[in-house]
Chains A and B, each alone.
Chain A
């Protein structure tokens, strides 16, 4: 399972796009990139995952670089309810959660 590196914290203005980066330079070919978020002390919530191609769902978009060494989670129109800790996980098996990025959406 690849080690991931994320900035510890970020701010985003309400209504703007939030772009959360993740570095996973040691990712192997069969490992997926997953994003989860945890609001306060609730159970982590799945957001999106991808292997090679960019992905989009109702919550977010995931952009994976061509060499797969990094990715960006995009919340297109951040709201106050998106304030949370966001975890990037690169794995083919067990999930290893780092400390994530604490995103604060500012009114």
Chain B
């Protein structure tokens, strides 16, 4: 079984709809992240959480919100979806601590807003 899972894998929704993307991990990591990727571009950080009670905005948080329901679960919500939020969304996790840390990525959710 995959260590980091994302649901749904693909979603098409209409402008103005609320949508939630979910991420679960079995790695036991405290840190979780949400990124978006637009065609031909690198990943950009939306939100990150260093533990259940910690939520931080990333580079492009406007139009998004998150919820850290448990150590293993981190959800991303689009309160009112708009077409320019059409993108590939990735969840990632990492260990806590000083020094170097790898981020482990999920398979991604392809979201299309029409």
User: Which A residues lie at the B interface, using CB under 8 A?
Assistant: 32, 34, 41-46, 49, 51, 87, 94-100
Contact = CB atoms under 8 A, between A and B. Distances in A.
A65 to B, nearest CB: 18
Contacts of A87: 42
Contact of B103 (A41, A46, A96, A100): A46
Contact of A46 (B59, B104, B110): B104
A49 B41 contact: no
17 contacts: A32-B100, A42-B108, A43-B90, A43-B105, A43-B107, A44-B103, A46-B102, A49-B100, A49-B102, A95-B33, A95-B103, A96-B42, A96-B45, A96-B59, A97-B44, A98-B42, A100-B42
Interface string B6-21: 0000000000000000
A23 to B, nearest CB: 16
Contacts of A98: 42
A44 B100 contact: no
Contacts of B33: 95
Chain B interface size, as a band, is 20 to 34
Contacts of B70: none
Contact of A97 (B40, B43, B88, B110): B43
A54 to B, nearest CB: 15
B102 A97 contact: no
B79 to A, nearest CB: 24
B95 to A, nearest CB: 12
Nearest to A98: B42
B100 A99 contact: no
B88 A44 contact: no
A95 to B, nearest CB: 6
